[in-house]
Chain A
Amino acid sequence: MLRRLLGVFRRRRLDEELAGELEFHLEELEAQHRARGLSADEARRAARLDLGGLARVAEEYRDQQRIPLVDTAWRTATFAIRSLARTPGVTAAVAVTLALGIGANAAIFAVVNGVLLEPLPFPDAGSLVAVNHGMTGTADELPSAPYLYFTYRDENRSFDGVGLWRIRPVNITGRDRPEQVRALYVTSEVLPVLGIRPLLGRQFSRRDDSPNAPATVMLTYGYWQRRFGGDPSIVGGKLIVDGQTQDVVGVMPRGFNFLDNQVDVIAPLQLDPAQVTLGRYVFPSVARLKAGVTLAEASADIARMVPLALARFQPPPGYTRERFAARPVTPRLVPLKDTVVGNIGGTLWVVMGALALVLLIACANVANLLLVRTEARQGELAIRAALGASRARIAGELLAESVILSLVGGTLGLLLAHQALLGMKALAPGNLPRVDAITMNPLVFLFTLVLSLVSGVLFGLLPIVRYTKPQLAAALRTGTRSMSDSPERHRARALLVTCQVAIALVLLVSSGLMLRTFRALGHVDPGFVRPGEVQLARITIPFGEVPDPERATRMQHDILSRLVEVPGVVSAAFADIAPLDPANAGSDTVLFVDGRTYAPGQARPLRRFEFISPGVFRTLGTPIVAGRDLAWTDFYDKRPVALVSEDLARDEWQSPAAALGKRVRASPGDPWREVVGVVGNVHDNGMHLDPPRIVYFPSLMDKFWGAPTIAFQSATFLIRSPIAGTDGFVRGVQAAVWAVNSNLPVAEVRTLDDAYQKSLAGTAFTLVLLAMAGGMGLLLGAIGIYGVIAYVVSQRAGEIGVRLALGAQPGQVRRQFLREGLTLTAAGVAAGLVAATVLTRVMSSLLFGVSPLDPLTYALVTLVLVVVAMAAAYLPARRASRHDPVQALRG
């Protein structure tokens, strides 16, 4: 069988072999006959007779060579290719149109597949969950807490393992240059739960988790390569992390990706069960469900364990157990993948829908082109039918042409998709999760193949249905001289164009709405001014190196004093976290306000805490609405003071002025702190969300959260300068920091504008993709209108000639065809407007500051579409009016 299949392709060689054999046979026969006394000619003739008909033998031989069905398919395909090659213009137009449509869809499918469909890169990733929690009275989702972790670890019936983790920056010193890296702290269960074994050395055991165990650390593959050149002898060596010497026990394998977080080193999260109290919801948790356990069963298990946890651990100082018991946490298990992918799904499905519409327009265009092409070949088809070609055979050939066209388009589309993916990855760093998982894998190829075949059949069927009906006589008669189009056929094309215009309108409306959203976001006052002038840099003074909070703060103060001396610096300050840092999200907590009481079980609103130096608002350009900024004397004298944001002041005390002198604290055990100033709102969660209510505390305080003295030793420095972001400026900042302490790395160097742009990037990304879809839709729709009008003009060349000869003005003729274009456009616009009002509701979650039914967008889009459509119709209409009547009449 295989040989026969091969025979289809090895035909030429086999034919040659046969010819050789037959020739040999003939010569032998001839020799035989000559030996019997025949002359040379007679011998040759006799030999031929003996052998039989050469052609028949060759045919029989060939039949034996191959399989009839495959052969027919092959012949049909070659016929179709030859026929396509005869009209290179149409073929190229169709292939390019399809390449655009299919390529765009292949690219977005690769993204959807990589981001949404592919499982996380862990064995049996489907059973991994994030153990999050809800709390009665708030909509917020809390991560896990140590007291819950120890209870779940010891009491659960649903997990194969549950662990806690946390990521924070650490300083690596003792090597040529101090460096800040990202450390993943994990309890010993986390890596086994994920199912990842180390490449070298060992992973952590329960022993590494205990508070007085020797300090250990693992390296990720990337960091191992970058800093140690992949030297395996590092396992067993030492690494100085935050001033503490730690044993390197292992290296993680290449490709280990911890939930899309960039991680350099991994260290044990050491928690002492004896010290653990209730609360402290700051640790994300990951668990693996036992085989066969559902999310609902695991949730029930957690609900059972929460009371056990409340009974097992003590409340923190100043709190009562009743306070925790009144508002217990509720289970909120989330598939681990959902926590990585986030809410990008909505955007991707909308974009995918938009691109599917583009492909539909492209198919409509192609169907139209093929209709015209088949029409031109009607004579040929009729003659072939008359000569006995079956209807099935002709239909098969037409279908083969469409499918070959779509496959060519699909192949070109794959190349386009490859390029588009590179562009998309460059465009979307940080706001598209799981970028590493986006590849042109076999599934994407399969998708493209199926898409090509389906579109090939889709647009290929139309000409078949129209033209394989036996209409011999009519076709042969009209074949010689073109007459006006039959109304029925014109209707088919007009319907296609109307659909195209309608779809293009939907696409344009959706990209128009995104554009309005983007502009609305740009007009939101972020709460700071000229972010491009604010340099951000993260500097961490390790606790191991400077254990005294006051000394650490003085060191930060010294750094600020040096920074303001750097040429070009206007002002400088620091905060525990910069505005718009994604690390802010979800860290909000309760604030106690003097004189305000809540009924048991009533939710206290969550507030954001930020810990700052003096001068932050001067540096950001945030106005001080009432009162004053913090001063260094507040720090060193440990004055109990705080600032609040404007909206917080309004929420609690109705006006900023009324807030001054009021008192707040972070926990019941703390002293009251006086509000000494009210500052403008900052859109810390992104421009599309309300500004959070923020309390600003000095970064050095006594008796906060029950601690005797705390200082925020890891802080982001904000430095305003007109030359922020330049290499020279960053070097100056570095030199200023190292003049204070040469062991301090300067990390996460960027400007506030980078953070600001990044907060808009999600919308910008959607906007660019939808605008591309809209642009393609508009272009293809315009081509569609142009094609139909041009065709009508060419069909009516005779009629136009007659009218011009009888004295019709060119303007009249032009208007006639423009009117025809306008009718098509108007019908499409009407249908599109109706469709858009329904379809744009899908994207309402992506919009900001604009209604899905925004009249301005709809009006402008309609105008643009009509103008473009008129331009597309104008070109052929003008040509019609310039017909030379004599030419037309003769033709």
Chain B
Amino acid sequence: MAKQVLQGTLDLMVLRTLETMGPQHGFGLARRILQVSQGLLDLNQGTLYPALLRLEQRGWIKWRWATSDNNRKAKMYELTARGRKQIVREAASWERTVSVMDRFLRHPARSEK
């Protein structure tokens, strides 16, 4: 599963990117996510758009029409207040998952009796 995107992680990546970089259009988000993952991620950039729609439907992000650097109309996505809360919640749960996995990987025998 090395280069596959885990279900749910893309959502967190998009939210987190919007948090750090502020409002972005779809192309900007894709480029930034690939940059940060330093090529470890095999992302079909198109997949980003259904994810954006999903986040919008849940009320975590919103968008407006804006003009890009080269003067084209593009959707600018930004975080909503609910989206910020979601990042905190999701990040916490992600860290919990990581620490549980970590313990399993180090002491696999202890949890099975």
Q: Looking at the assembled complex, report how far the CB atom of B59 sits from the nearest CB atom of chain A, in whole angstroms.
A: 9
Q: Looking at the assembled complex, report how far the CB atom of A60 sits from the nearest CB atom of chain B, in whole angstroms.
A: 4
Q: Residue-by-residue, is B39-81 near A (CB-CB < 8 Å gives 1, otherwise 0)?
A: 0000011110110011001000000000010101111000000
Give the nearest-CB partner of A56 in chain B.
B46
B45 touches A25 (CB 8 A): yes
- Given A4-B57, A25-B26, A25-B27, verify A51-B45 contact (CB < 8 Å): yes
Q: Looking at the assembled complex, report how far the CB atom of A36 sits from the nearest CB atom of chain B, in whole angstroms.
A: 13
B30 interface contact, C-beta 8 A: yes
B25 interface contact, C-beta 8 A: yes
Question: CB < 8 Å: which of B44, B50, B57, B74 contacts A3?
Answer: B57
Q: Looking at the assembled complex, report how far the CB atom of A32 sits from the nearest CB atom of chain B, in whole angstroms.
A: 8
Give the nearest-CB partner of B69 in chain A.
A28
User: Interface SS of chain A: helix, strand, loop or mixed?
Assistant: helix
B74 touches A57 (CB 8 A): no
A60 contacts which chain B residues (CB < 8 A)?
47, 50
Q: Looking at the assembled complex, report how far the CB atom of A307 sits from the nearest CB atom of chain B, in whole angstroms.
A: 77
Give the nearest-CB partner of A65 in chain B.
B53
Could you tell me which residues of chain B, from 1 to 52, have a CB within 8 Å of some CB in chain A?
25-27, 30-31, 44-47, 49-50
Give the nearest-CB partner of B59 in chain A.
A3
Could you tell me which residues of chain A, from 33 to 87, have a CB within 8 Å of some CB in chain B?
50-54, 56-57, 60-61, 63-65
Question: CB < 8 Å: which of A4, A29, A64 contacts B50?
Answer: A64
Give A20 to B73 CA distance when docked, in angstroms.
Answer: 9
A31 contacts which chain B residues (CB < 8 A)?
70
B49 touches A22 (CB 8 A): yes
- Given A24-B26, A25-B30, verify A18-B45 contact (CB < 8 Å): no
A-B contact count (CB 8 A): 56
Give the nearest-CB partner of B49 in chain A.
A61
Could you tell me which residues of chain A, from 274 to 310, have a CB within 8 Å of some CB in chain B?
none
Q: Looking at the assembled complex, report how far the CB atom of B83 sits from the nearest CB atom of chain A, in whole angstroms.
A: 16
Interface size of B by Cβ–Cβ distance < 8 Å?
Answer: 20
Scoring A18, A54, A63 by chain B CB atoms within 10 A of each residue's CB, the highest score goes to: A18
B49 contacts which chain A residues (CB < 8 A)?
18, 21-22, 57, 61
Q: Looking at the assembled complex, report how far the CB atom of A879 sits from the nearest CB atom of chain B, in whole angstroms.
A: 60
Give the nearest-CB partner of B53 in chain A.
A64
Give A56 to B49 CA distance when docked, in angstroms.
Answer: 11
A61 touches B45 (CB 8 A): no
- Given A21-B75, A61-B53, verify A52-B26 contact (CB < 8 Å): no
Give A60 to B50 CA distance when docked, in angstroms.
Answer: 6
B68 touches A53 (CB 8 A): no
Give A17 to B26 CA distance when docked, in angstroms.
Answer: 12
Give A280 to B44 CA distance when docked, in angstroms.
Answer: 98
Give A63 to B53 CA distance when docked, in angstroms.
Answer: 11
Could you tell me which residues of chain A, from 419 to 450, have a CB within 8 Å of some CB in chain B?
none
A57 contacts which chain B residues (CB < 8 A)?
44, 46-47, 49-50
Question: CB < 8 Å: which of B26, B31, B70 contacts A21?
Answer: B26
Q: Looking at the assembled complex, report how far the CB atom of A67 sits from the nearest CB atom of chain B, in whole angstroms.
A: 11
A21 touches B54 (CB 8 A): no
A20 contacts which chain B residues (CB < 8 A)?
73
Question: CB < 8 Å: which of A29, A32, A51 contacts B44?
Answer: A51
B30 contacts which chain A residues (CB < 8 A)?
25
Give the nearest-CB partner of A63 in chain B.
B50
B47 touches A52 (CB 8 A): yes
Give A731 to B86 CA distance when docked, in angstroms.
Answer: 88
Give A52 to B73 CA distance when docked, in angstroms.
Answer: 23
A17 contacts which chain B residues (CB < 8 A)?
75
Give the nearest-CB partner of A53 in chain B.
B46
Interface size of A by Cβ–Cβ distance < 8 Å?
Answer: 26
B44 contacts which chain A residues (CB < 8 A)?
51-53, 57
A4 contacts which chain B residues (CB < 8 A)?
57
- Given A18-B49, A50-B45, verify A64-B57 contact (CB < 8 Å): yes
- Given A4-B57, A64-B53, A65-B53, verify A24-B74 contact (CB < 8 Å): yes
Give the nearest-CB partner of B27 in chain A.
A28
A51 contacts which chain B residues (CB < 8 A)?
44-46
Could you tell me which residues of chain A, from 8 to 31, have a CB within 8 Å of some CB in chain B?
17-18, 20-22, 24-25, 27-29, 31
Scoring A4, A24, A27, A65 by chain B CB atoms within 10 A of each residue's CB, the highest score goes to: A24
Q: Looking at the assembled complex, report how far the CB atom of B29 sits from the nearest CB atom of chain A, in whole angstroms.
A: 10
B74 touches A52 (CB 8 A): no
Give the nearest-CB partner of B72 in chain A.
A24
A27 contacts which chain B residues (CB < 8 A)?
72
Give A63 to B47 CA distance when docked, in angstroms.
Answer: 12
Scoring B31, B46, B50, B70 by chain A CB atoms within 10 A of each residue's CB, the highest score goes to: B46
B46 touches A52 (CB 8 A): yes
Q: Looking at the assembled complex, report how far the CB atom of A337 sits from the nearest CB atom of chain B, in whole angstroms.
A: 53
Question: CB < 8 Å: which of B25, B31, B45, B57 contacts A52?
Answer: B45
Q: Looking at the assembled complex, report how far the CB atom of B26 sits from the nearest CB atom of chain A, in whole angstroms.
A: 6
A54 contacts which chain B residues (CB < 8 A)?
46
Q: Looking at the assembled complex, report how far the CB atom of B69 sits from the nearest CB atom of chain A, in whole angstroms.
A: 10
A24 contacts which chain B residues (CB < 8 A)?
25-27, 68, 72, 74
Q: Looking at the assembled complex, report how far the CB atom of B102 sits from the nearest CB atom of chain A, in whole angstroms.
A: 33
Scoring B44, B49, B57, B74 by chain A CB atoms within 10 A of each residue's CB, the highest score goes to: B49
Give the nearest-CB partner of B68 in chain A.
A24
A52 contacts which chain B residues (CB < 8 A)?
44-47
Q: Looking at the assembled complex, report how far the CB atom of B80 sits from the nearest CB atom of chain A, in whole angstroms.
A: 14
Q: Looking at the assembled complex, report how far the CB atom of A6 sits from the nearest CB atom of chain B, in whole angstroms.
A: 11
B54 contacts which chain A residues (CB < 8 A)?
64
Give A17 to B64 CA distance when docked, in angstroms.
Answer: 12
Give the nearest-CB partner of A62 in chain B.
B50
Give A57 to B51 CA distance when docked, in angstroms.
Answer: 10
A63 contacts which chain B residues (CB < 8 A)?
50
Give A248 to B49 CA distance when docked, in angstroms.
Answer: 76
Give A427 to B23 CA distance when docked, in angstroms.
Answer: 71
Q: Residue-by-residue, is A485-512 near B (CB-CB < 8 Å gives 1, otherwise 0)?
A: 0000000000000000000000000000
Give A28 to B24 CA distance when docked, in angstroms.
Answer: 14
Give A815 to B99 CA distance when docked, in angstroms.
Answer: 92
Scoring A25, A54, A63, A65 by chain B CB atoms within 10 A of each residue's CB, the highest score goes to: A25
Q: Looking at the assembled complex, report how far the CB atom of A27 sits from the nearest CB atom of chain B, in whole angstroms.
A: 8
A61 contacts which chain B residues (CB < 8 A)?
49-50, 53
Give the nearest-CB partner of A23 in chain B.
B72
B68 contacts which chain A residues (CB < 8 A)?
24
Give A20 to B75 CA distance when docked, in angstroms.
Answer: 9
Give the nearest-CB partner of B28 in chain A.
A28
Q: Looking at the assembled complex, report how far the CB atom of B8 sits from the nearest CB atom of chain A, in whole angstroms.
A: 14
Question: CB < 8 Å: which of A18, A21, A29 contacts B74?
Answer: A21
Give A65 to B44 CA distance when docked, in angstroms.
Answer: 20
Give A61 to B72 CA distance when docked, in angstroms.
Answer: 23
Give A32 to B31 CA distance when docked, in angstroms.
Answer: 10
Give A507 to B107 CA distance when docked, in angstroms.
Answer: 87
Q: Looking at the assembled complex, report how far the CB atom of A804 sits from the nearest CB atom of chain B, in whole angstroms.
A: 67
Give A139 to B53 CA distance when docked, in angstroms.
Answer: 79
Give A57 to B30 CA distance when docked, in angstroms.
Answer: 15
B31 contacts which chain A residues (CB < 8 A)?
32
A56 contacts which chain B residues (CB < 8 A)?
46
B27 contacts which chain A residues (CB < 8 A)?
24-25, 28-29
Give A18 to B51 CA distance when docked, in angstroms.
Answer: 12
A65 contacts which chain B residues (CB < 8 A)?
53
Give A64 to B52 CA distance when docked, in angstroms.
Answer: 10
Q: Looking at the assembled complex, report how far the CB atom of B111 sits from the nearest CB atom of chain A, in whole angstroms.
A: 37
State the 9 A-B residue pairs at the shortest beta-carbon distance, nearest first: A52-B44, A57-B46, A28-B27, A52-B46, A60-B50, A64-B50, A61-B50, A25-B27, A51-B46
10 A-B Cβ contacts within 8 A? Answer: A4-B57, A17-B75, A24-B74, A25-B30, A27-B72, A31-B70, A61-B53, A63-B50, A64-B54, A64-B57
Q: A3-B57, A20-B73 are in contact. List 17 more A-B contacts (CB 8 A).
A: A21-B49, A21-B75, A22-B46, A22-B49, A24-B25, A24-B72, A25-B26, A25-B27, A25-B45, A51-B46, A52-B47, A56-B46, A57-B50, A64-B53, A64-B54, A64-B57, A65-B53
A residues near B, CB below 8 A?
3-4, 17-18, 20-22, 24-25, 27-29, 31-32, 50-54, 56-57, 60-61, 63-65
